[in-house]
Structure 1
Amino acid sequence: MTASDLLAEIAGVGRDASRGGYSRHAFDRAEDELRTWFVEQATRRGLDVETDRNGNIWAWWGTPGPGAVVTGSHLDSVPGGGAFDGPLGVVSALDAVDILRRKGFTPSTPFAVVVFAEEEGGRFGVPCLGSRLLTGSIDPDRARALRDPGGVTLAEAAAKAGHDPARFGPDPEALGRIGKFVELHVEQGRGLIDLGGPVAVGSTVIEHGRWRFSFSGQGNHAGATVLGDRHDPMLPAASVVAAARRVAGKFDDARATVGRLVPTPGGTNVIASTVDLWLDARVPGATRDLVDEIAAAATEAAREEGCQVTVTEESYSDTVVFDPALRDEMDDVLGGVPALPTGAGHDAAILAAHVPTGMLYVRNPTGISHAPEEFAEVADVDHGAVALASTLEHLST
């Protein structure tokens, strides 16, 4: 089966009837179904499957050991996301194994396909949890205490799914096995559209983070409370949405987005008592400067309405430069392809601080990601799997 065939097999899992696209989140039913599917696919191929202490699944071709060539991605999605972000890297890795076996190739180094847990942060808010826990870049107590919108903690959800959250944390043994890591991903942008090519290698990832703005005021009756008596946290919250766009316009190549806003209690005829919103910010070399200016605007808007605001950094990743030597190797194997920067984060970017890491992008003709319109042509999907197989063959020889 080709990578596009494998994608078709899971096309019905996790469809979101209200948002469109897919909603597949860490330790929910849809993601669990996909994890089970992956284990079955790996087992059919004679790969030895194990789940590490942080819920990441490893499928080994041959004996596990240090210096392994590892590829893979994730199976979860953002709310209402596309079909390709994450799963494309997983199915392409399985297809690459098939391609290499048909050639009669056997890796001379340890070789594994990995599925990382909770890459998007769509349920618990912090992206790349599986790789962050693996590498020790997030405190396990903090991770266990993260809550989803329904109030369920990561620890509770993991335990319900059959994992032991007490074991969450740095895993130097698993990390120490990785010699080189290559992640294939659908492109999240239009670089390959403009360049007219089916694949590219990754060069850098822009620094980025997520911040929570929590506004508190006085809940009250929408009809009985005159405007002069209100302390409505929705007003300063709304000002942050506008400030994010305004302030970002002052910085070169900045991206600032408020994609989630939650008022409490959330009634139509109720003045909110609190409003929480989340800011996603990405600016080359100046992300925290951008956020500081937006936070200053939020503080002033809250003061004018007689409200209070606290700003909490929930995640941050510095600029990542993928391993230049590995990038050059991939470029040589693929016959010369573009090297593209990205504003999107990946597990590969988390691993890059610890092991040589590379990215391989597949053209997305819509240029859209994190939405139902995300797409890749069958020919490009299969081209990407062949490119990945060629890269892995070279690295595993």
Structure 2
Amino acid sequence: MTRSSHAGETLAPAGNRITDVAGIEVGHAYRIDDDAVVASPDDGVEGRGWATGTTVVRIASSAATCAVDVRGGGPGTRETDLLDAVNTVQTAHAIVLSGGSAYGLAAADGVMAGLEESGSGLAMDTAGHVVPIVPAAVVFDLPVGAWDHRPDAAFGRDALSAASVEVAVGSVGAGAGARAGALKGGVGTASIVIEHGPAAGVTVGALMVANPVGAVIDPATGLPWSVTAADAAHHGLVAPVSAEIRRYAELAAKQTVLNTTIGVVATDAAVDSASLKRVAMAGHDGLARAIVPAHSPLDGDTIFAVATGDRRIERVAEVPAGMNPDVAVVAEVSRVAAIVVQRAIVNAVISARSVAGIPSFVEVLPSALS
């Protein structure tokens, strides 16, 4: 059975989650068996048990615009061409993030079916027929658990049904079987309300599934890469003891390679689809700050961007003729997008619990959590 409730899960607090953007909801469906084992062909180990899932970001706003930026060399995606600003459709009704590699794209079928039943989608006629727009991206988690256990349409439907403003983080949803270098990966989230400047009052949030080839934790320090005092305080981290750092460095030196970090950046600003592409691109800056190395030939790194348009910003100054009049807002939203993506990826790793024998951050570096 898939699990889509919040019982026993770690929930992101209000004020630091993607659903702080009005009109955005998140749902997870996943299955983790106690006997799940990571496949290791080199050691003759067969994977077994379930350890995978699906996450759905539901978009309630009818005025939402969407975009996507794919940077990894091995992406697994659906409906990304549709979101090109030169094409006709400029919106989406839900975005699916799933485990299961290319097989996991089937989860989007269940989301489409659920949205159709509720009448959500592009109206096609006066008889009530709709076509839901459901882009998707997947991570490669097949060796965690077993190759023949992967999300299908039922996972997508269950995740859609579970969607709410509550956001569970860690080893949940599409992050159930995720791995971040030597440590357990997962789902993470973050948000910021911009306080000053042309975009004051705008909320920017991110939800990321961290399953990269690279590491999120620096083996030299046991902390996130280039961590600042502000970053450490945000995540509640302090420098771990040297023995734990040495243990982590040993694990990192012989990590198993998996790949792909995917996610969604959302804002309540009104941003056209072409400009929103810049926001998705900026999200990858945060990805590259959080993961070393990033955007490798084996990664499928993909970030979607959503603007609900619920908050209209008055322009504080005129811009030169021929320039996008909202350029100052787009620039500020893009700057903050990089921050929330970085924070969401770190949140995914420090919130994850051990699955299938993959050690968690809290197990390996417990003294880092203040």
> TM-score interval w.r.t. the shorter chain?
under 0.3
Q: Which has the larger share of helix?
A: 1
TM-score between both structures, scaled by the size of structure 2: 0.27
TM-score of the two chains, using structure 1 as the length reference: 0.26
